[in-house]
Amino acid sequence: MEPATFFSLRLSLQVATAATVLVLIAGVPAAYVLARRDFRGRDAADVLITLPLVLPPTVTGYLLIVLFGRNGLIGGPLYHWAGWTVMFTWQAAVIASFVVALPLMVKTARAAIEAVDRNLIDASATLGHSEPWTALRVILPLAKRGIVAGAVLAFARALGEFGATLMLAGNIPGRTDTMPLAIYSAATSGDRGRANMLVLLFAGLSALLLYTANRLGRRAV
Amino acid sequence: MKQSAGIMLALLLFGAVGSGWAQEKQDVTVAAALSLKGAFEELALLYEVKHPGERVQFNFAASGVLQRQIEAGAPIDVFASASSREMDELDRQQLLEVASARTFARNRIVLVVPAEGRAALRSMRELRQAAVQRIAIGNPATVPAGRYAEEVLRHANVWDSVRGKLILCENVRQVLDYTARGEVDAGVVFATDAAGVNGIAVAAAAPAASHSPASYQAAMLRGAEHRAAGRAFIDLLLSAEGQAVLKRRGFLAAP
């Protein structure tokens, strides 16, 4: 395999893995709160998290630049303080992937948590267990199938993320060109041979990952 | 009942879209380099005044991207490219009507910086400074302005030292946006693109000798459906009125 292809492949896996870990860390608690708590602004929070699922990736990318750019709302102070900006780095690709993959996890996990039998939760409470104990030992284990499915979907979405990544991370050969970006470059510059090779490789890898995830998910649950 | 109302609505929508398509078929479709956008939109108004009832449809993108679309069979009548390379490649595939090809304008290459710049730049050579961390140019593989930018940087003997700072953009607009936002310290674009953009200052102009001539060519495609209209549009580009519009937008006359 050419070094450039290997780099893109490795970067894609690295970005998708990092994004999925973040999605798990943020998404499962968010799904839990949305499913189990009734608070003001719950619908608004749900809409905000889900929005990147329906917005065109270019809009998401634009909003992320406004937030994380060197003069952005968050990126500005960060650059001022640390002299570093996330723009055009592989971490920017992680941010973009995280934002677009999060709703898939939250939607799936929330549905799974809401489907947990109320009687079991009440029984746990009646036996004197605190809410955190109930959440960790009763609710989340019972919702495991949904959480695993959410993680698989999130990983797949992160792996294929293109639009917002292109805007926030740029398309820098050897630095931020994930597989989708490398495929786009090859296709738009007329390099059919390379495009074909990358497409086959990427499609094969994605299929293999999904197949493995499905099998693991079935065995684990 | 509800369902049939839905079906009616869907049919109405399809009908509207369908008649929209049918109407578009009367229009001449011009695929043009993104740097021509302002000038061509003005020229389209002129064209529509001269040819009542006819309309010009545009497809603006980087010339290289348009070339791929044409190769893939996009229904386009006239192609206007920001460099001769795309034309030559399409010609080699016998997709162009060579007799209709005309060079109608030229452009210059400039170095732009954010208006509230951190680095005070006056020449391409100064891009080597450590203060300049990121430079946006069009992707040379698809964006003619990027290809000229590469030539300019090579001519100034800084290509190898600035290579690691380059952010390759999909088109000239993206270069301008990153520069205006201060996401990059400098960008290289066509002079006409930089003119009048908020948040952008022109730091230096590239000498004409530092890059191959940035000449714009227009040609009719072999598969063009609206030949008369296409030819009329190309004629308009070369007419005194057309040239006046291009000149006012900062383009140089074709040699």
What does the pLDDT look like over B42-74, one tens digit per residue?
999 999 999 988 899 999 999 998 999 999 888
pLDDT beyond 60 at A2: yes
- The answer to whether B58 and B40 have CB atoms below 8 angstroms apart is yes
Q: What is the pLDDT of residue A210?
A: 82
- Residues of A within an 8 Å Cβ radius of B: 65, 69-71, 85, 87-88, 166, 170-173, 185, 187-190
- Per-residue pLDDT at A190: 79
C-alpha span between A59 and A154 (Å, rounded): 19
Q: Provide the shortest C-alpha distance from residue B46 to chain A (in Å).
A: 33
| Structure-block tokens of residue A116 | 């947990």
Q: Could you give the residue ranges of the DSSP H alpha helices within chain B?
A: 2-24, 37-50, 63-71, 84-92, 144-155, 159-162, 172-180, 191-194, 227-238, 240-248
Q: Chain A closest CA to B232's CA: distance in Å?
A: 30
Overall average pLDDT of the A90-109 stretch:
96
- Residue A201: helix, strand or coil by DSSP? helix
Contacts of B139 in chain A (CB under 8 A): 171, 185, 189
Coil, strand or helix: which one is B112? strand
Query: What is the model's pLDDT at position B23?
Result: 46
Q: Is any Cβ of chain A less than 8 angstroms from the Cβ of B88?
A: no
DSSP for residue A137: I
Least Cα separation, residue A87 to chain B (angstroms): 7
Question: In chain B, which residue's Cα lies nearest the Cα of A188?
Answer: B65
Instruction: Tell me which of A217 and B233 has the higher pLDDT.
Output: B233
Token pair of B200, please?
Answer: 């952008």
pLDDT digits (tens, 9 = 90+) for B129-187: 888 999 999 999 889 999 999 999 999 999 999 998 999 998 888 999 999 999 999 99
What was the pLDDT predicted at B204?
A: 92
Residue A176's closest chain B neighbor by CA?
B167
Residues of chain A contacting B134 with CB distance shorter than 8 Å: 88
Contact B213, B108 (CB under 8 A): no
What number is the average pLDDT over the span A148-173? 91
Per the CB < 8 Å rule, is B64 touching A71?
Answer: no
Query: How close does chain B come to A173, measured CA to CA in Å?
Result: 9
* B193: nearest Cα among B9, B39, B67: B39
- Work out the end-to-end distance of chain A between its first and last CA atoms, rounded to an integer number of angstroms: 37
Helix (H) or strand (E) holding B54: none
Q: Quickly list H helices, chain A.
A: 3-36, 42-54, 57-68, 75-82, 90-114, 118-126, 131-134, 140-142, 144-160, 163-169, 179-188, 192-220
Residue A180: per-residue pLDDT: 95
Q: What residue has token string 């990092």?
A: A18
Contact yes or no for A65 and B183 at CB 8 A: yes
The amino acid sitting at A114 is E
Chain A residue numbers with beta carbons less than 8 Å from the beta carbon of B140 are none
Quickly list DSSP for A80-103: HHHS---TTSHHHHHHHHHHHHHH
Report pTM. Answer: 0.80
Contact A65 B181 (CB under 8 A): yes
Residues of B in contact with A189 (CB under 8 A): 64, 139, 141-142
Measured between beta carbons, the chain B residues lying within 8 angstroms of A166 are 170
pLDDT at B20: 46
What's the pLDDT score for residue B18?
Answer: 45
Report how many Cβ contacts below 8 Å link chain A to chain B.
44
- The pLDDT assigned to A173 comes to 82
CA gyration radius for chain A? 20
* Sheet with B135-138: strands ordered across: B166-169, B135-138, B186-190, B109-114, B200-205
Determine whether the interchain pair A88/B134 forms a contact, defined as Cβ–Cβ distance below 8 Å.
Answer: yes
Arithmetic mean of pLDDT over chain A: 91
Residues B3-40 have pLDDT tens digits of 555 555 555 555 444 444 444 446 899 999 999 999 99
- Alpha-carbon distance B81 to nearest alpha carbon in chain A (angstroms): 15
ipTM over 0.90: no
CB atoms within 10 A of CB B118: 13
Helix (H), strand (E) at residue B109: strand B109-114
Tokens standing for residue B76: 């386009």
**Are A71 and B134 in contact (CB < 8 Å)?**
no
How many angstroms separate the CA atoms of A184 and A188, rounded? 6
Buried b / exposed e along A53-72 (16+ C-beta atoms within 10 A): bebebeebbbbbbebbbbbb
Task: Report whether A23 contacts A154 (CB < 8 A).
Answer: yes
Cβ-Cβ contacts under 8 Å, A85 against chain B: 183
Q: What is the C-alpha to C-alpha distance for residues B98 and A89, in angstroms, rounded to an integer? A: 45
Partnered with residue B103 across adjacent β-strands are B217
pLDDT of the residue at B21: 47
| Stretch A72-93: mean pLDDT | 92
Q: B83 at the A interface (CB within 8 A)?
A: no
Give the max Cα distance, chain A.
67
Per-residue pLDDT, averaged over A191-220, amounts to 85
Q: Look-up: residue for tokens 């055009």?
A: A88
pLDDT value at position B195?
86
Does the beta-carbon distance from A189 to B167 stay under 8 Å? no
Q: Which residue of B has its CA nearest to A87?
A: B183
Span B209-229, average pLDDT: 92
Q: Which of B167, B185, B198 to mutate to test the interface with A (most CBs of A within 10 A)?
A: B167
pLDDT tens, A39-78? 999 999 999 999 999 999 989 999 999 999 988 999 999 9
